Amino acid sequence: MSKITIDHVTRIEGHGRITIRLDDAGKVSDARFHVTQVRGFERFTVGRPYYEMPSITSRICGICPVSHLLASSKACDEIMAVRIPAAARQLRELLHCAQIVQSHALSFFHLSAPDLLLGMDADPARRNIAGLLEEHPDALRDGIALRRFGQQVIERLARERVHPSWVVPGGVNAPLDPQAREKTLAEIPAAAAIVARTLALWKRAVSDFPDEIDAFSNFPTMYCGLVGPDGSLRLYDGNLRFVGPDGAMVADQVRPDDYASVIGEATLPDSYLKAPYYLPSGHPEGIYRVGPLARLNVADRCGTPDADRELDEYRSRFGRIVQSGFHYHYARLIEATYALERMQELLDDPAILSTKVRAHAGVNASEGTGIIEAPRGTLIHHYRVDDNGAITWANLIVATGHNNLALGRGVLQVAQRFVDGKRITEGALNRVSALVRAYDPCLSCSTHALGMPALLLELRGPDDELLDTIATS
Amino acid sequence: MSEKVKVRIDGEVLTATTGQTILEVARANNTYIPALCYMEGLSAVGACRLCMVEISGVGKLQPACTTPVQEGLAVVTASPQLEAYRKIALELLFAERNHVCAVCVSSGHCELQTLAQDHGVTHVRYPYGYPRLAVDTSHPRYVLDHNRCILCSRCVRACAEIEGAHVWDFAGRGIRSMLVSELSRPWGEATTCTSCGKCVQACPTGAMAEKGWGVEEMTKQRSVVSRLSSMREGE
Ligand code: SF4
Ligand code: SF4
Ligand code: FES
């Protein structure tokens, strides 16, 4: 049996490997997405005081540290059994929205725009940021400006761009500086204009990708995400909702501390990433997806005017339930619109300046769960502690984990469509990588993907012998 | 009877009193000598070896914190050789335990970290020991993380000499030395501990901290211990 391996999918966060297996006739028979890094976080945090978890776990990833910080702090709030001050809640959501904006900007502009705006079959030597600079300098400039906006807000709030220590169990450790509020409010319109421009551009361009829409994880799964009591989109808080492939309600308003009643975790033989599934349906039938695409599928509405208008248009074009993984990109832009509107709403409320931002308490519960919608999807932190507050057990379910099963199945679908066993075209292999990038997987790492090593393709024969290697830049 | 003596520190002639150490005289005259295990108000033990100085006529380096002055003493506090030794001493402290500043409560307010920065310790040239060490969370208000302990004994002395409780001691030898509370009972069960927190304030690193503070949040009031001691002088 022949085997094609795509090592280090370039332009994704972290390290991944794709193996495409060919049968003797040279047809794609199987495809897998592996995560080869071991994350020992659940093991080595045992014995540490629970309140250190936010800073320790935010080191899981240099790309979305804020997400772990928030999910972890929420789990700690539960262990302290406190309701955090209202302004602290607002400030955490504000920080989270800034993170969503900067992360979605990174995903769309920096990581995927070369494929999306230059075309999947463009010369690989030019299908990168440099090529983008030549052909779409405005889009590139917009992307950089939008990401910088998000990062600057984070920095302004947390005084640190990467790994902020501002969010703490019980709230945040400093109130909002009125000047930071003014500055951010002044900058939101420009950021919103970028997102609106990009949406307009993407709404035109998306019809140029019928094959990708057709073949990028275009299969039925369930979807999972947080929703508010009224069923609207929630990123910072809310309860879990699962909907079926046709949009039918599967489970609704599942409280965070009850997540284990709906999510089971399978371990796969060839990946260190656990594969969560919808528990009542079993593994692997309980396959579901999370992230922007899933969130827009589960939510009744966004709850902010501009985002809701965009959501209506998106649904009128692609249906109430949007199935193709290719539309993660579109969904990301709608979410960026929502996040900016939420930031405006939060900052417009003068109560956000309150100096009551932190609750202090000891260990008042032996268990705590914190769930947020990270840029890439539902993120769950669940801890147990002893009476002194030392961690005795921890479980983390990350967004890329939820999507693990769907990603594997998606790779197979794309490979069957675009990979011909006898001839591996650059465009075909790039599409496999592009699919992975559509999910924007964040592979539990601290390495920054920009400037990653060349894409290495291996073609292996029936006895695993190396037939061919192709390296691209 | 203390007498006035003349000593030379880095070429400068200074007046000192017998009984004073080189470190005390240097500090009184605004000459900086790095020190870690030394704490004003506590006895000096010479544990960390960061305050080493050159004394003319003496073949080996001497710790400034424990060496008393005498008439005519000539001391050099900074030289390439001293700098090299201090760097080695710092690197060995890091190699011995598990210092992950990025997640440490004391990061930004840690004497070890500051000294490492001041001395340009950008990496450690010795293999790390990576010992598996416990965190004692048993005390209701404080926490002891052996991973960050540099065995300086400031807590031991603060507790014994100022509070008079003598909860802390060292068990084991050499690299296996461990700080223990009350014959190896968990801190929270130590019957002599008065929960005064002086050890925590005296600790130069993130080894001892108040519970509940996140990364970078633990600032210590080190002057408290020294002030208490000076107020008791002459009692
Ligand atoms: S005790 Fe100091 S040197 Fe050690 S980890 Fe903490 S900040 Fe770093
Ligand atoms: S706990 Fe702190 S003060 Fe005590 S010996 Fe260790 S480093 Fe020194
Ligand atoms: S300060 Fe002198 S040996 Fe530590």
- Least confident window among A95-109, A127-141, A251-265: A127-141
Cβ neighbours of B140 in A, within 8 Å: 362
Phi, psi of B46 (to 5 degrees): 65, 45
* Strand-strand pairing, A466-472 and B4-9: unpaired
Q: A171 at the B interface (CB within 8 A)? A: no
Which range (A119-133, A178-192, A391-405, B109-123) has the least confidence? A119-133
Displacement of CA B107 from its chain's centroid (Å): 17
* pLDDT, tens digit (0-9, with 9 covering 90-100), for A254-288: 999 999 999 998 876 655 567 789 999 998 889 89
pLDDT at A242: 97
Confidence of residue A161 (pLDDT cuts 50, 70, 90): low
Strands (E) in chain B, as ranges, are: 4-9, 12-17, 52-55, 62-63, 74-76, 135-136, 142-145, 168-171, 178-181, 208-210
Beta strand ranges found along B32-167 (DSSP E): 52-55, 62-63, 74-76, 135-136, 142-145
The reported pLDDT for the residue numbered B169 is: 96
What count of other Cβ atoms lies within 10 Å of the Cβ of residue A142?
23
Q: Which helix (H) or strand (E) holds A266?
A: strand A263-267
For chain B, the farthest-separated pair of C-alpha atoms sits apart, in whole angstroms, at 53
Evaluate the CA torsion angle A153, A157, A161, A164 in order and state its sign. negative
**Burial of A114 from C-beta contacts in 10 A (0-12 / 13-18 / 19+):** buried
β-bridge partners, A374: A377
Task: Give burial (CB, 10 Å; 0-12/13-18/19+) of B84.
Answer: exposed
As a whole number, mean pLDDT of residues A385-412 equals 84
- Of A27 and A62, more confident: A27
Going by pLDDT thresholds of 50, 70 and 90, the confidence category of residue A215 is confident
Q: In this predicted structure, what is the pLDDT of residue A448?
A: 27
DSSP assigned state of B161: I
Q: What number of CA atoms fall less than 13 Å from residue B32's CA on the CB side?
A: 4
CB B39 within 8 A of CB B157: yes
Yes or no, beta carbons of A48 and B135 under 8 Å apart: yes
Q: Is the pLDDT of residue A190 over 70?
A: yes
B130 touches A: beta carbon within 8 Å: no
Ligand 3 and B36: CB distance under 6 A: yes
Give the mean pLDDT of A59-70. 78
Confidence of residue A447 (pLDDT cuts 50, 70, 90): very low
Cβ atoms within 10 Å of A25's Cβ, excluding its own: 8
Please report the pLDDT score of residue A36 as a whole number: 42
Q: pLDDT-derived band of residue A31, with 50, 70 and 90 as boundaries?
A: low
- Contacts with A238 (C-beta within 8 Å, 6 or more apart), sequence order: A226, A227, A228, A229
Q: Average pLDDT, stretch B27-37?
A: 96
Phi, psi for A374 (deg, rounded to 5): -70, 165
SS3 A5: strand
Query: What's the CA angle centered on B61, arms B60 and B66, to 5 degrees?
Result: 125
**What confidence tens digit (pLDDT) does each residue in A289-309 have?**
999 999 999 999 999 999 999
Options 3.40.30.10, 3.60.15.10, 3.40.50.11540, 3.30.70.20; CATH for B99-232 is 3.30.70.20
pLDDT value at position A18?
A: 66
For residues A188 and A334, the answer to whether their CB atoms sit within 8 Å is no
Whether the CB-CB separation of A45 and A53 falls below 8 Å is answered with yes
Amino acid at A237: D
Mutation to probe ligand 1, out of B93, B123, B205 (largest number of atoms < 8 A from CB) = B205
Q: What percent of chain A has pLDDT over 70?
A: 82
Nearest-CA distance from A388 to chain B in Å?
Answer: 6
| A67 close to A350: Cβ distance less than 8 angstroms | no
B167 touches B193 (CB < 8 A): yes
Task: Please give the DSSP secondary-structure letter assigned to residue B146.
Answer: G
pLDDT of residue A140: 87
Q: b/e map of A234-266 (b: 16 or more CB within 10 Å)? A: bbbbbbbbbbbbeeeebbeebebbebeebbbee
Q: Supply the pLDDT for residue A426.
A: 72
Question: Of A92, A388, A391, A392, which to mutate for an interface test with B (greatest number of B Cβ within 10 Å)?
Answer: A388
Closest listed ligand to the CA of B39: 3
Residues of chain A neighbouring B137 (CB-CB closer than 8 A) = 49, 386, 388-390
pLDDT for B125-143, tens place per residue?
A: 999 999 999 999 999 999 9
* Residue B201, ligand 1, Cβ within 6 A: no
Q: Which of A125-134, A196-205, A329-338, A372-381 has the lowest mean pLDDT?
A: A125-134
Q: Please state whether the peptide bond connecting residue A284 to the residue before it is cis, i.e. omega within 30 degrees of 0.
A: yes
pLDDT for the residue numbered A443:
47
Evaluate if residue A421 carries a pLDDT over 80.
Answer: no
For B7, phi then psi, to 5°, come to -130, 160
CA angle A396, A401, A406 (to 5 degrees): 160
Among B104, B137, B218, most A C-beta atoms within 10 A, so best to mutate, is B137
B148 lines ligand 3 (CB under 6 A): no
Say whether A49 and B137 touch across the interface (CB within 8 A).
Answer: yes
Measured CA to CA, the distance from residue A113 to residue A128 in angstroms comes to 8
pLDDT for residue A454: 33
Least confident of A366-380, A389-403, B42-56: A389-403
Instruction: List the single range of A242-246, A414-418, B9-13 with lowest mean pLDDT.
Output: A414-418
Query: CA-CA-CA-CA torsion for A51, A53, A56, A59, nearest 10 degrees?
Result: -130
Question: What mean pLDDT is reported for chain B?
Answer: 94
Is the pLDDT reported for residue A358 higher than 50?
yes
**For B147-220, where are the E strands, in sequence order?**
168-171, 178-181, 208-210
Mutate-to-test residue for ligand 3 from B24, B25, B33, B38, highest number of ligand atoms within 8 A of CB? B38
Q: Tell me the average pLDDT of chain A.
A: 83
Q: How confident is the model at residue A76 (pLDDT cuts 50, 70, 90)?
A: very high
Q: Which two tokens stand for residue A54?
A: 């936010």
Select the more confidently predicted residue: A472 or A305. Answer: A305
What single DSSP character describes residue A323?
A: -
Which of B103, B188, B212 has the CB atom closest to A55's CB atom?
Answer: B103
Tell me if B121 CB under 6 Å of ligand 1. Answer: no
- Grouping H, G, I as helix, E, B as strand and the rest as coil, residue A61 is coil
- Put simply, whether A62 touches B (Cβ < 8 Å) is no
> Which ligand 1 atom is at minimum distance from the Cα of B205?
1
The C-alpha atoms of residue A308 and residue A301 are separated, in whole angstroms, by: 6
Q: Which residues of B touch A173 (CB under 8 A)?
A: 214, 217
The yes-or-no verdict on residue A25 having pLDDT over 80 is no
Q: How many CB pairs under 8 A join A and B?
A: 47
Residue B187 three-state SS: helix
**Measured CA distances, A455 to A72, A440, A446, A469 (Å):** 34, 17, 19, 10
* CA gap A135, A129 in Å, rounded: 10
Residue A400: strand, helix, or coil: helix
ipTM higher than the 0.90 cut = no
Into which CATH architecture does domain B4-78 fall? Roll (3.10)
Grade residue A5 by pLDDT with cuts at 50, 70 and 90.
Answer: low
Confidence of residue B199 (pLDDT cuts 50, 70, 90): very high
* Predicted confidence band of residue A468 (pLDDT cuts 50, 70, 90): low
The pLDDT value given to residue A120: 73
DSSP annotation string for A211-254 = HHHHHSS-S--EEEEEE-TTSBB-SSS-EEEEE-TTS-EEEEEE
pTM: 0.84
Per-residue pLDDT band for A55 (boundaries 50, 70, 90) equals confident
- Cβ of B150 closer than 6 Å to ligand 2, yes or no, is yes
What gap in Å lies between CA B121 and CA B128, rounded to an integer?
15
| A2-446: in CATH 1.10.645.10 | yes
**pLDDT higher than 90, residue B113:** yes
> A239 φ, ψ to 5°?
-115, 160
Choose the mutation target among A45, A57, A80, A165 for the interface with B, i.e. most B CBs under 10 Å. Answer: A165
Residues B43-80: tens digit of each pLDDT: 999 999 999 999 999 989 999 999 999 999 999 999 99
How do residues B150-196 score in pLDDT, each as one tens digit? 999 999 999 999 999 999 999 999 889 999 999 899 999 999 999 99
Instruction: Quote the distance between the C-alpha of residue A366 and its chain's center.
Output: 29
- Tell me, in angstroms, the distance from the centre of ligand 3 to residue B23's CA: 9
Residue A424: predicted pLDDT: 62
Cβ contact A240:A371 at 8 Å: yes
Name the residue of B154, B170, B193, B222 to mutate for ligand 2: max ligand atoms within 8 A of Cβ.
B154
Work out the average pLDDT over A108-115. Answer: 78
Nearest in space to A388 (alpha carbons), one of A49, A35, A27:
A49
| Domain residue ranges in chain B | 4-78, 99-232
